[in-house]
Structure 1
Amino acid sequence: MKLNTLLRTLLITLAFSFILAGCSAGTENTTENNETTIVTSFYPMYIFTQNIVKDIPGIKLENMTEPQQGCLHDYQMVPADLKTLEKADIFVINGAGMEAFLDKVIKQRPSLKIVEASKNIELIKDPNGEKNAHVWVGVSGAIQEVKNIAEGLAESDAKNADAYRKNASEYVKQLGALKEKMNKELKEFKKKDVITFHEAFPYFAKEFGLNIVSVVEREPGTEPSAGELAGLINKIKSTNVKILFAEPQYSAKAAESIAKQTDAKVYMLDPVVTGEKNAPADRYIKTMEENLKVLVKAFKENQ
């Protein structure tokens, strides 16, 4: 009887030791992984957030979608996306209807903190009243989105609030200088009639005085029908528009076909929706500087 009691006592002691060891290991992992994970929905949000969180200890930044994904108009989430979001403390989105899958995210992670970059920004609407979500393509829109992201992160992660705001302020100054440079170089051109590839550029056009006469693809990735193409060609001929902007994210086949049948010339304008993985923090500014070179060349050749 005494032997049984002794054995039972030893077993209980060993079991208790394992429990304590398990708890101890869990505590160590929590300490080692005591970081704030911020996930962004797609490429431009990643670039903006990267500038806001730079050099802040304990911050891990991930982009949910592949950097070549482009706009998320009809994007369907895959299991890998949900797995990425499982680790997220904060989810940074563009908003304005860009992330059509957001309801699914909220259902899966109701307590996830969501930061909406386009919050309280006045949105441009098309003739049908549909809101245009491409706020970041205009530099002023990018500036406001950066401010909104910084404030959203500051509210969600108070201990780093000052650092977020400081980094955002520095980046906003860089964006402000970019905006001033672009305005200065583009204001000398009087004729700025253009055809754009899809509805990514209304904010950009409004900011820099471009007149978008028509759009090749109303729905990105959906080539115009023969009738739509014929109508667009007739419009270009009647309005004498010489500049047709294609985008590196999509096939330029339709644009090139239009150019062959008109006097228009195709140029590449990048709405900054795709790029390389782990893109450098200056990628938005660098891409816009390249866009400026393209615009200046196009307007000089077609005044």
Structure 2
Amino acid sequence: MKKLSIIFCICTLLLCNLLAGCGSKEPAPAADYKLRVVVTFNAMKEFTQAVGQDKIHITSLIPDGTEPHDFQPTTKTMQALSKADILIYNSTGMERWVEQATQAAANPKLVIVEASKDTDRISLTEADEIRAHGQYDPHTWLSLSCAQTEVKNIAEALAAADKTNADFYRKNAAEYNQKLQALLAAYQKKFSKLEQKDFVTGHAAFAYLCRDFGLQQQSIEDVFASGEPSAQNLAKLTAYCKEHNVKTIFVEEAVSPKTSETLAREVGATTQEIYTIESSNGEKTYLTRMEENLDAIYKSLKK
């Protein structure tokens, strides 16, 4: 009887353990599981890849060549969101479709990360822009100082979702931010020695970059490159370029260059590409393109 009691107790314990295992809601993720991260456009992908490296799998939602302002979610967008662990986007002013798309995707485990949270944002001043896009200029990623905040936000989101690799993400973010800070410091020193501080662009995407370096942009189109510039504004910009002997009109890769080329011909200037880093550009990284932007602006202002 004593032996039978012992056998009965052992069987009962085994059965309890088996039932407890069956009752668990989800199996533990495999040791080699990679976080499924979706990002909106190229700058967000660059920041996220720098932090996550080989520990994550990244999918971009917005195709190269498509303005994030104008993007409309598709069935493919919904499928990506429904399977993702994390969505990383820049800001509600840039990707205004995010809230509606994530609701439609109905993925209760999806972690949504606004990368520009806690950056020092620049307020818009035009009533029409505010009604259409919100209170702030969304182009925070074009600031090397704001970019450091975005990278840190991304690292903390990945660390919270994947605690095993939290130190890995934070270390990568710190190393990447050192590179951003070094580039920022180098060009702050260079721009501080220049008298001329204004440069001319196709659309007003560079207010945050200007703030980093004490510069001022004169632009053909507004912050969101919407609508046609008025004849009055073009006349004022033409007069400005002639008065200040402007020799370079910067053109963004995703904005039609026609008006910029017309202005350049009118004032005897040339056009030069400047990167908004919304789409990929071959092998050129975020850091490479930002350095090229700053070098081109510096050379255009140096006399």
The TM-score bracket by the shorter chain reads 0.7 to 0.9
2-structure distance, mates of 1:285, 1:162:
23
Unmatched 5+ stretches in structure 1: 1-26
1-structure distance, mates of 2:251, 2:215:
15
Partner of 1:87: 83
One-letter identity of the residue aligned with 1:117: A
| Paired residues for 1:142-157 under 5 Å | 142-157=147-162
Change (3 A) 1:154 1:188: same
Partner of 2:66: 69
How many pairs does the alignment contain? 268
Residue 249 of structure 1: how far off its partner (Å)? 2.2
Return the TM-score normalized by structure 1: 0.79
Please give the secondary structure, in 2, of the residue aligned with 1:45: helix
| Paired residues for 1:174-253 under 5 Å | 174-212=179-217, 214-218=218-222, 219-220=224-225, 222-237=227-242, 241-253=246-258
Q: Identify which of 265, 286, 295 aligns with 2:297.
A: 295
Instruction: Indicate whether 1:122 and 2:127 are aligned.
Output: no
Which range is displaced more, 228-237 or 188-197?
A: 228-237
Superposed CA offset, 1:95-135 (max 9, x none): 14211111222312352111111112121012236310100
Please give the secondary structure, in 1, of the residue aligned with 2:57: strand
CA RMSD of aligned residues (A): 2.6
Change (3 A) 1:275 1:32: same
Residue 205 of structure 1: how far off its partner (Å)? 0.6
One-letter identity of the residue aligned with 1:295: I
Partner of 1:45: 44
Q: Identify which of 79, 95, 102 aligns with 1:99.
A: 95
Please give the secondary structure, in 2, of the residue aligned with 1:54: helix
Unmatched 5+ stretches in structure 2: 1-25
Confirm or deny: 8 A CA contact 1:194 1:242 kept in the other structure: no
Confirm or deny: 8 A CA contact 1:96 1:118 kept in the other structure: no
2-structure distance, mates of 1:154, 1:113:
12
Superposed CA offset, 1:74-105 (max 9, x none): 32111111122122110011014211111222
Residue 186 of structure 1: how far off its partner (Å)? 2.5
Confirm or deny: 8 A CA contact 1:96 1:132 kept in the other structure: no
